[in-house]
């Protein structure tokens, strides 16, 4: 599946969630089996030779492709969630958003020092959520951390806030 095919299947919603924002709705990439498979195959091709042992998905849209990719890579899946959603002992990271502070959590035993981790979310805009996710994962000292997005909004320069040791890949740059 080409990037042009993926873009054709991507829905844009003007003025959502607020006036002046053009929202890129990735759910339209998931509803057609051929598009979903093409997206999964494109992501798999980026990481098939990297030795990934865990794929981390960020709540909630990251929960869609991360387990699919984990299955294709023969890796485990780890959810990062909002506070109070995980039942066992957790670690957490907080970050600033445009309209306040937010916190994410992960199970303390989800990742080991032997793991090679891929963290996935749907969209890179300003990068705050993913930066916090990277900090959270790094607390557990994995061997390597990779980051993946379906879409990167290049004009927002979210990529610039990440440490140099984080390799970032996106399927679509808009």
Any domain includes 10: no
H runs (alpha helix) in 48-168:
62-73, 128-138
Any domain includes 43: no
Taking the C-alpha atoms of residue 73 and residue 46, their distance in angstroms, rounded to an integer, is 11
φ, ψ dihedrals at 160, nearest 5°: -70, -15
Instruction: Determine whether 11 is an active site residue.
Output: no
Any domain includes 19: no
Taking the C-alpha atoms of residue 161 and residue 31, their distance in angstroms, rounded to an integer, is 32
pLDDT in tens, 13-39: 999 989 998 999 999 999 999 999 999
Are 58 and 104 in contact by the 8 Å Cβ rule? The answer is yes
Any domain includes 108: yes
Any domain includes 22: no
Taking the C-alpha atoms of residue 31 and residue 10, their distance in angstroms, rounded to an integer, is 11
**CATH number of the domain to which 125 belongs:** 3.40.50.2020
Are 61 and 38 in contact by the 8 Å Cβ rule? The answer is no
Counted residue by residue, the chain has a size of 174
| Domain assignment of residue 97, given as a range | 51-173
* Mean pLDDT of the chain, nearest integer: 95
Instruction: Determine whether 113 is an active site residue.
Output: no
Instruction: Indicate which residue of 89, 98, 113, 160 is catalytic.
Output: 98
pLDDT of residue 156: 92
Instruction: Indicate which residue of 61, 81, 92, 152 is catalytic.
Output: 61
Position 96 pLDDT exceeds 90? no
* Number of domains comprising the chain: 1
Taking the C-alpha atoms of residue 174 and residue 171, their distance in angstroms, rounded to an integer, is 10
Q: Cα 56 from chain centroid?
A: 7
Any domain includes 33: no
Helix-helix angle 62-73:33-47, to 10 degrees? 60
Any domain includes 92: yes
Report if pTM > 0.85.
yes
Any domain includes 82: yes
Residues facing residue 95 across a β-bridge: 102
Where is mean pLDDT largest: 21-30, 48-57, 159-168?
48-57
Beta sheet of 144-152, edge-to-edge order = 76-80, 54-58, 116-124, 144-152, 167-173
Taking the C-alpha atoms of residue 31 and residue 9, their distance in angstroms, rounded to an integer, is 10
pLDDT of residue 159: 94
């Amino acid at each position: 599946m080409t990037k042009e095919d993926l873009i054709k299947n991507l829905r844009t919603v003007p003025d959502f969630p607020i006036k002046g924002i053009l929202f890129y709705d990735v759910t339209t990439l998931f509803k057609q089996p051929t598009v979903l498979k093409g997206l999964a195959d494109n992501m798999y091709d980026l990481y098939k030779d990297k030795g990934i042992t865990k794929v981390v998905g960020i709540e909630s849209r990251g929960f869609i492709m991360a387990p699919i990719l984990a299955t294709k890579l023969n890796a485990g899946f780890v959810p990062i969630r909002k506070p109070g959603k995980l039942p066992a002992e957790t670690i957490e990271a907080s970050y600033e958003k445009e309209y306040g502070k937010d916190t994410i959590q992960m199970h303390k035993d989800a990742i080991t020092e032997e793991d090679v981790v891929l963290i996935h979310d749907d969209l890179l805009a300003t990068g705050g959520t993913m930066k916090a996710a990277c900090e959270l994962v790094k607390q557990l000292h994995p061997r390597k951390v990779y980051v993946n997005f379906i879409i990167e909004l290049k004009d927002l320069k979210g990529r610039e806030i990440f440490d140099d040791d984080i390799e970032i890949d996106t399927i679509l740059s808009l």
